[in-house]
Amino acid sequence: MTGFRDLGWARPDIDREARLGLPEVVYAPGKEPAQIAAVVSSLLAANAGPVLATRVEPGTAQAVLAAVPDGVHEPRAKLLHWRAAAPMAFTVAIVAAGTSDGPVAAEAAAVARAIGLTVDEIHDVGVAGVHRLLAVRDRIAAADAVVCIAGMEGALPSVVAGLVAAPVIAVPTSVGYGAAFDGVTALLAMLSSCAAGVTVVNIDSGFAAAMAAHRIARSRA
């Protein structure tokens, strides 16, 4: 047993579910539809849990689903997934600062649902109108973990982490004017948060935030 399947041009990690609780996730950019389909098929055959392909464009998604049926395409999240995960008793609040952060929030929410987490989506509660955030404070505090998504100056996670006790996972987005530097300003602000213990993932990576929440959920279980 090698722990991977040798396709000649790729080696899917078929043991990852046993090690980490989820099968390997397929990153679609740079791959042809036939390559995505082949890797997905090998992961479905070797594992029992959900199989995901991320950042999938619509035309590619159609071609992959023609080759590997019974999957679900979520266009706004650019996500393809097969097989429902067993639900976990764990709720993650996906809290987005503005509607421009919506695509990243959609990816985080879709991935979280696909891997078995319960999702509560809260949109347009950026700190420029902090009363909007305070109006949903109790709802956020009820979650087991919080994913905070913000561009511009990236202040939302610091404020939320000062209000609730749950783990806060911050996602900087590339939304913002020139000095936002395509998300670098928000990234550095989140890394420098005065609220202790905030976890920060990469720019625009709703996927990484959902996977971090999944690790917290498994550890808690």
Predicted local distance difference test score (pLDDT) of residue 95? 98
At the top level of CATH, the class of 91-220 is alpha beta
Predicted local distance difference test score (pLDDT) of residue 86? 87
pLDDT at 12 > cutoff 80:
yes
Model pTM?
Answer: 0.93
Whether the Cβ atoms of residue 37 and residue 64 lie closer than 8 Å to each other: yes
Predicted local distance difference test score (pLDDT) of residue 166? 96
Whether the Cβ atoms of residue 51 and residue 76 lie closer than 8 Å to each other: no
Compute the distance between CA of residue 150 and CA of residue 166 in angstroms, rounded to an integer.
Answer: 18
Compute the distance between CA of residue 72 and CA of residue 70 in angstroms, rounded to an integer.
Answer: 7
Predicted local distance difference test score (pLDDT) of residue 84? 85
Q: Where are the domains of the chain?
A: 16-82, 91-220
Predicted local distance difference test score (pLDDT) of residue 1? 54
Distance of CA 215 to the CA centre of its chain: 12
H-helix or E-strand spanning residue 93? strand 91-96
The mean of the pLDDT values for the chain is 95
pLDDT per residue as tens digits for the range 83-142: 988 899 999 999 999 999 999 999 999 999 999 999 999 999 999 999 999 999 999 999
Compute the distance between CA of residue 155 and CA of residue 185 in angstroms, rounded to an integer.
Answer: 10
Compute the distance between CA of residue 74 and CA of residue 78 in angstroms, rounded to an integer.
Answer: 6
pLDDT per residue as tens digits for the range 27-50: 999 999 999 999 999 999 999 999
